[in-house]
Structure 1
Amino acid sequence: MGIVLNQSLKNTIITYLGFGIGAINTLYLYPVLLGATFYGLTNYITSCANVIMPLFAIGMQNTLVKFYSQYETQEEKSRFLSFTVLFPLVVIVPMLLVSLYFYDEILFFLSKKNEIVKNYVWLIPFIGLCMAYFEIFYAWARVHMHSVFGNFIKEVGLRLFSLLLLIAVYFEYLSVEGFVYATAALYLLAFLVTMFYAFHIEKPTFQFSMPKNTKEILTYTFYIILSGSVANLLLDGDKIMLNQYMIIDNIAFYSIATFIALVISVPSRAMHQIVYPITAKLMHDNKFEELNVLYKKTSINLQVVGGYVMLGIFVNINQLYEMVPKEYSGGILVVFMIGISKYFDLILGNNNAIIFNTKYYRAVLFLGVLLVAVAIGLNMVFIPMYGIMGCAFATLLSITLYSLAKLLFVVKRLHLYPFTRETIHSLVITFILFISFYFWEFPFSPIIAITCKSILITVVYTYVNYKFVISTEINNAIDLVLAKVKKFF
């Protein structure tokens, strides 16, 4: 777990730094400088791009991680890397041609409720293509155990440059319409920078030949496309559905709430970057005892860290919404619903990495497709009735059902168990502290109140978790920090 902790820690710090910049953008700059309409439009364009991204990448980012370690010679590895980069074009080119042929129909469908979408629809495949190749080259770096730089580009770089673009809007160097186009250019830049970084790690020698196990790779890739599409539809499909039923401003209101809730999943995103290739190698080597230990460790570590983040958000949510324009304040309940669904998914540890590296992954993926259909149906029912609240409720049900299905699959099929008695202890601690702090309001300005409450929560939560030894690894990390502090003084 040494390299896992080392790179996971770096990735966590980078990701939270990115979310910190994102918080400035999301809570202050986007609503004020872009307004609800163009903020909603920007989110809609990037959400649609994220949904079609797995189709453009055709799962090669996951395929690369799964199969790369199985090749022994440098020539085989080089041939495989070439395949992962070039083969997606076989799918991308026909898809773009078909989209051009049916462009008017697509345009009408996507803009029938919000006319403003019509002028920007072509940016969706452009950004989706950039996202797809970013992920492929990021995976190229990850299989060589270089996960930090790509994570920095993804989590910090994009948000930092978005901040600069927003500043340009403030000083009227850039129009709000120009901001949407500049956002697309940022994704192109991220893809190019990551590509050259991947080439720096291992210089490419492109070969127009197929790997020796092409059939196995293509079979796996087909199901990973389903997996990625399911995951991204569950993540961003709700915003796409909102565009079909409500004015686009509501996507802006919903986006602020979901951004706040998504902070809970940051530890999982950071750890996943380095745990995924390690999980793949353990399963390939049939080291299931070590895998079970890793499963439990990732679960409890993510639960402790994620529980702290969730607790901090939930008890400060009223003060957070005092700092955004009043028209956005209807999203508090959305934060709770989306946040709980993310927390449940987070405590499953490296569950996804395990599933995607077994021969049984197909059944779960088809179940995921079914749940996406259920999610779409739920959104069609609840959005017209309850607006963004109905959208959040549909997302909560969908993600929870999908996470539960994946958990039961791993337990029943592989006899791997993520939970221990510390799991229950952590849940109890988090719940008690939430009840204790949520109704305790400080008579200060929102920033001061959030700071005071957060300091108290940090001290109490850390002490209680340390005292009850919820996570031995986190305790060891705390001991190490305390030892260094004592040595310093």
Structure 2
Amino acid sequence: MGIIFKQSFKNSLIIYLGFLIGGINTIIFYPRFLDSDYYGLVSFLLSASNLFMPLIALGIHFTIIKFFSAYKEKEERDKFMSIILFFPLFVAIPTGFLWDSFHDWIMSFCPEENKIFAKDYTPVIYIVALSCAYFEVFYAWAKVQLQSVFGNVLKEFWNRAVVMILLISVFFGWITKPEFIYILTGAYILRTLVMMIYAFKLYLPKFSFQVPENFSEVVKYSAYIILAGSAGAIILDIDKVMIPGKETFEQAAYYSVAVFIGSFIEAPSRAMRQILQPLTSKTLNENDEKEVNSLYKRSSINLLFIGGLFFLLINCGVHELFKLMPEGYSGGELVVLLISLVKLYHMLLGNNGDIINNSKFYRIILPLSVGMALSVYFLNKLFYFRLDYGTEGLAIATFLTIYFFNSIKLWFVYYKFKMVPFTNKTLIMLFIIAALFGAFYFWNFNFHPLINIALKSILITIVYLVISIRLKISPEINRLVSRFIKI
């Protein structure tokens, strides 16, 4: 677990810095520097591109992680890496030629008011989707070399920093709001080119058009794994894309803020998974069941430990946080709670998804992912459109869908591998989180909202860490803390 902690620690710092900048953008700059209708439009375009991205990528970023460590000869690795680069083009090129039809299809879901506002921007969806698809391919290229930090900087920090610069530029009148969208699109393209150069620097194959011996298996895996690992994000993107089908882009902006706040707790999960993915694949390829089981349990308790703290900090301060935002953005406390709860449950399962994705049972991922997408779509239709529960209805649909299908994945790994991520420390950790949530959620200090947030955060952090460390919930975290203080 040493290499996991070393790179996860660096990745966590980068991700939290990225989330800090993203938080400033989302909570302060976007609502004040960019009109809510343009903010909603940006959320719609990026969410739609996220829905197209897995289809263009064809699961290649997961295929690289699955198969690279299985090849023992460099010649076979070179054949594999050479041919895999061209897979996304089989979808990207036809999609580009047929984009006018996709444009009409996308606009058919929007009311007339939104059609007029968004009609000139749909090519952004295709360009960003293609750029993100190839970025993920080259990022996976680096991860199989166990080098995830630089790619993490580009993934988590680059776009948020660019957005901050562009929002400030809009505020000072250096660029217009339409130019904001086009320059941001260019930043996605540039990010992919930088990632490509870095990936080739780490591992430059001898390019050829020869295929590896297990080529048919590679193709089958890619076909089944298209939506794997993206299902959770896709569900939230479906929410944001469906909002303009009923209400204005402004409502998409309000929902995006609440989702961002609720999703903040998953940052450590994203950091750890970037190195857990290739290591899980490697141990499965080597049939090291003992190490797979160990990774499963340790990833679960460590992610629950860190995620639990951020779950408490976010939800126990969210009432005050919304007081700092412009009118219209407040009132999303239930959305934040439901999104953060389901993210915490996902973290509790550790590297569950990576075990399935990289095992011989990977075929189950496609029906599960399709099932998740269809479930959230029809539940959104029920709660948001028919029952008119508002954006809380979208959050309820997301919560029910992810909870149900993640539970199926939990059962599946137990059924096939006879492994569970839980230990005797898991129940203790869940009790600590629940007790502190009950103690701190319903009251605040009677000061300015910023002071209230700061005081509660300090108090919660101290109590949480002291109890968890004294009970030795996570040996890895205790060892990390012992480097600085005697425990």
| TM surpasses 0.5 | yes
* Alignment partners' CA distance in 2, 1:8 and 1:450: 27
Match of 1:265 in 2: 266
For the 8 Å contact 1:334–1:389, the answer to whether it is kept is yes
Match of 2:371 in 1: 370
Match of 1:163 in 2: 164
For the 8 Å contact 2:302–2:477, the answer to whether it is kept is yes
Match of 1:189 in 2: 190
> Structure 1 stretch 65-74 or stretch 216-225: which is displaced more?
65-74
Please tell me whether residue 348 in structure 1 is matched to residue 349 in structure 2. Answer: yes
Shift of 1:233: 2.4
After TM superposition, what 4+ stretches of structure 1 lie above 6 angstroms from structure 2? Answer: none
The match for 1:471 among 471, 474, 477 is: 474
What is the CA deviation profile of residues 351-405 of structure 1, one whole-angstrom value per residue up to 9, with x for unaligned ones? 1110101222222431331232121111011112111111111111111111111
* Alignment partners' CA distance in 2, 1:189 and 1:98: 25
Match of 1:97 in 2: 97
For the 8 Å contact 2:154–2:191, the answer to whether it is kept is yes
* Alignment partners' CA distance in 1, 2:229 and 2:94: 20
Q: Are residues 330 and 440 of structure 1, via their aligned partners in 2, closer, same or farther at CA, if it must alter by over 3 Å?
A: closer
Aligned amino acid, residue 241 of structure 2: I
For the 8 Å contact 1:15–1:155, the answer to whether it is kept is yes
* Alignment partners' CA distance in 1, 2:102 and 2:342: 37
* Alignment partners' CA distance in 2, 1:349 and 1:113: 44
* Alignment partners' CA distance in 1, 2:424 and 2:245: 45
Match of 1:480 in 2: 483
Match of 2:85 in 1: 85
Match of 1:408 in 2: 411
Shift of 1:113: 5.7
* Alignment partners' CA distance in 2, 1:132 and 1:112: 31
* Alignment partners' CA distance in 1, 2:162 and 2:229: 27
Q: Are residues 195 and 102 of structure 1, via their aligned partners in 2, closer, same or farther at CA, if it must alter by over 3 Å?
A: closer
For the 8 Å contact 1:10–1:148, the answer to whether it is kept is yes
> Structure 1 stretch 456-465 or stretch 437-446: which is displaced more?
437-446
Mapping for residues 380-399 of structure 1, pairs under 5 Å: 380-384=381-385, 385-399=388-402
Give the % identical residues: 42
Match of 1:460 in 2: 463
Shift of 1:87: 2.0
Structure 1 residue matching 2:350: 3-state secondary structure: coil
Shift of 1:183: 1.4
Shift of 1:80: 1.2
* Alignment partners' CA distance in 1, 2:230 and 2:155: 19
For the 8 Å contact 2:224–2:365, the answer to whether it is kept is no
Q: Are residues 92 and 354 of structure 1, via their aligned partners in 2, closer, same or farther at CA, if it must alter by over 3 Å?
A: same
* Alignment partners' CA distance in 2, 1:220 and 1:193: 28
Shift of 1:127: 0.3
> Structure 1 stretch 359-368 or stretch 120-129: which is displaced more?
359-368
Shift of 1:219: 0.5
Match of 1:442 in 2: 445
Q: Are residues 314 and 473 of structure 1, via their aligned partners in 2, closer, same or farther at CA, if it must alter by over 3 Å?
A: same
Shift of 1:98: 2.8
Please tell me whether residue 425 in structure 1 is matched to residue 428 in structure 2. Answer: yes
Shift of 1:482: 1.3
Q: Are residues 464 and 229 of structure 1, via their aligned partners in 2, closer, same or farther at CA, if it must alter by over 3 Å?
A: closer
Q: Are residues 231 and 127 of structure 1, via their aligned partners in 2, closer, same or farther at CA, if it must alter by over 3 Å?
A: same
Structure-1-length-normalised TM-score: 0.96
* Alignment partners' CA distance in 2, 1:59 and 1:102: 21
Q: Which runs of 5+ in 1 are unaligned?
A: none
* Alignment partners' CA distance in 1, 2:102 and 2:473: 56
> Structure 1 stretch 230-239 or stretch 432-441: which is displaced more?
230-239
* Alignment partners' CA distance in 2, 1:13 and 1:226: 28
RMSD over aligned CA atoms reads 1.5
* Alignment partners' CA distance in 2, 1:226 and 1:7: 26
What is the CA deviation profile of residues 240-280 of structure 1, one whole-angstrom value per residue up to 9, with x for unaligned ones? 11121221111100000000011111111110000110000
* Alignment partners' CA distance in 2, 1:248 and 1:173: 24
What is the CA deviation profile of residues 269-301 of structure 1, one whole-angstrom value per residue up to 9, with x for unaligned ones? 110000110000111111111110110000000
* Alignment partners' CA distance in 2, 1:211 and 1:111: 49
Match of 1:138 in 2: 139
> Structure 1 stretch 357-366 or stretch 332-341: which is displaced more?
357-366
Match of 2:63 in 1: 63
What is the CA deviation profile of residues 404-436 of structure 1, one whole-angstrom value per residue up to 9, with x for unaligned ones? 111111111111110112111011101111111
For the 8 Å contact 1:442–1:449, the answer to whether it is kept is yes
Shift of 1:201: 1.1
Q: Are residues 106 and 336 of structure 1, via their aligned partners in 2, closer, same or farther at CA, if it must alter by over 3 Å?
A: closer
For the 8 Å contact 1:61–1:136, the answer to whether it is kept is yes
Mapping for residues 314-333 of structure 1, pairs under 5 Å: 314-333=315-334
Q: Which runs of 5+ in 2 are unaligned?
A: none
* Alignment partners' CA distance in 2, 1:8 and 1:335: 25
For the 8 Å contact 1:56–1:88, the answer to whether it is kept is yes
> Structure 1 stretch 238-247 or stretch 45-54: which is displaced more?
238-247
What is the CA deviation profile of residues 102-140 of structure 1, one whole-angstrom value per residue up to 9, with x for unaligned ones? 544444445646121211111101000000000000001
Mapping for residues 151-300 of structure 1, pairs under 5 Å: 151-227=152-228, 230-300=231-301
For the 8 Å contact 1:143–1:277, the answer to whether it is kept is yes
* Alignment partners' CA distance in 2, 1:451 and 1:22: 19
Match of 2:30 in 1: 30
Match of 1:119 in 2: 120
For the 8 Å contact 2:226–2:366, the answer to whether it is kept is no
Please tell me whether residue 5 in structure 1 is matched to residue 14 in structure 2. Answer: no
What is the CA deviation profile of residues 53-81 of structure 1, one whole-angstrom value per residue up to 9, with x for unaligned ones? 01111110000011001112222212211
For the 8 Å contact 1:298–1:350, the answer to whether it is kept is yes
Shift of 1:445: 1.4
Aligned amino acid, residue 19 of structure 1: F
* Alignment partners' CA distance in 2, 1:391 and 1:438: 23
* Alignment partners' CA distance in 2, 1:458 and 1:225: 39
* Alignment partners' CA distance in 1, 2:229 and 2:292: 23
Aligned amino acid, residue 320 of structure 1: L
Shift of 1:466: 0.8
Q: Are residues 395 and 78 of structure 1, via their aligned partners in 2, closer, same or farther at CA, if it must alter by over 3 Å?
A: same
* Alignment partners' CA distance in 2, 1:2 and 1:139: 21
* Alignment partners' CA distance in 2, 1:111 and 1:67: 45
